[in-house]
Amino acid sequence: MTKEKVDLILNDIREGSTNKHAAEANGISERHFYYSILQGVCDLEHQKLNTIYAHLVQSLRQIEQSEIKECRKQIKENKKSHKGAEWTLEHVYWQYFSANAPAMEMDARLRNLEQGELNNEKETEEKTDANA
């Protein structure tokens, strides 16, 4: 991860790309991207404000904040025509704006657990094959 690569990813996200597509289009796997975010959160919690990872997280939050503000502004100003803004808040920022947030969070956790189980099964198979 370099600052230049992070800035390219952030620019793609700012222009509307998903995190996954922005990262992969710039040569970073989705997993590496999310690990970088976790590292950035950890850096910020420990007051390490000048790392590339802290920059990534702070910039992502600024992008998200701008989008949320813009959507809420559209909803307030356009009483009848704000379906796109509503959709964005309910589907992209569902943790904060969806009435189904608890169920959606449980579903996401279940998918993560299942993915972990699949990864563990694959690792076990690889070890078995290597020992055979």
Handedness of CA 75, 77, 80, 83 (dihedral sign): negative
Q: Which domain holds residue 120?
A: 99-132
80 and 26 in one domain?
A: yes
Q: What share of the chain is helix, strand, coil (3-state, %, to 5)?
A: 80, 0, 20
The pLDDT, as a whole number, for residue 132 is 55
Note the maximum CA span of the chain. 67
* pTM, full prediction: 0.68
Beta strands in 1-132 (DSSP E): none
Domain total in the chain: 2
The residues, any chain, with a CB within 8 Å of residue 79's CB and separated by 6 or more, are: none
47 and 20 in one domain?
A: yes
66-89 mean pLDDT? 84
Structure-token pair, residue 118: 């699949």
- Percent of the chain beyond pLDDT 70? 87
125 and 88 in one domain?
A: no
Q: Say if residue 98's pLDDT is above 90.
A: no
Which band of pLDDT confidence, cut at 50, 70 and 90, is reported for residue 50?
Answer: very high
pLDDT per position as a tens digit, 3-48: 999 999 999 999 999 999 999 999 999 999 999 999 999 999 999 9
88 and 62 in one domain?
A: yes
127 and 67 in one domain?
A: no
| Residue count (the chain) | 132
104 and 43 in one domain?
A: no
45 and 71 in one domain?
A: yes
43 and 23 in one domain?
A: yes
